[in-house]
Amino acid sequence: QGITSFSAAGFKLINSDTAFEAQLRKSGIDPKDLGKIEKENPELWDAITEKPGSPRDKAKHITDSMKSFYEAGRLGLIIDGTGDDIGKIKKKKDHAESLGYDCYMVFVNTSLEVAQYRNSKRSRTLPEDLVTTIWKECQHNLGAFQTMFSGNFRIVDNTKDGNNIT
């Protein structure tokens, strides 16, 4: 539903998770099993997420190709990702600005408890300890993102039904 409104406005959504889940299914892996695989089968986990030609690697190539195509046409982009790596976000922002894009960040925030609950209901679950680690890193990075994006930064509280923009 949200994608349609972005597309109608000319924005293209970039999210490697969509391609990753498709590649997992193509490889015969249920995305819901990822959390269990990481804990119980580290070799398979590495084959899925780290190695060249892995489902994660293929998904990144697909997503990068789409992004390059959209950038060539200077289409509006929404890059959907996780804020646990400041350096990665800064690199993406710097690249986009070098192409002439104006950059904004919408930080969608929630409580750890809600993040854990929603993770358990996703089609691709992560281990609880990983969700906790990522959530804490995102919270820690909040101030740096506010500085990096200055006046082009908004927080959306997505803890409850309905969104509050601050």
Give bridge partners of residue 13 from the DSSP assignment. 78
Whole-model pTM: value is 0.79
Confidence of residue 153 (pLDDT cuts 50, 70, 90): very high
Task: Produce one character per residue of 69-86: b if its CB has 16 or more CB atoms within 10 Å, e if not.
Answer: ebbeeeeebebeeebbee
Q: Which residue has the tokens 């490889």?
A: 27
| 164 pLDDT tier (thresholds 50, 70, 90) | very low
CA distances from 29 to 19, 45, 60, 126, 141 (A): 13, 11, 17, 14, 33
**1: confidence class by pLDDT, cuts 50, 70, 90:** very low
Instruction: Give CA separation, 120 vs 17, 33, 47, 49, 81, in Å.
Output: 16, 11, 23, 20, 19
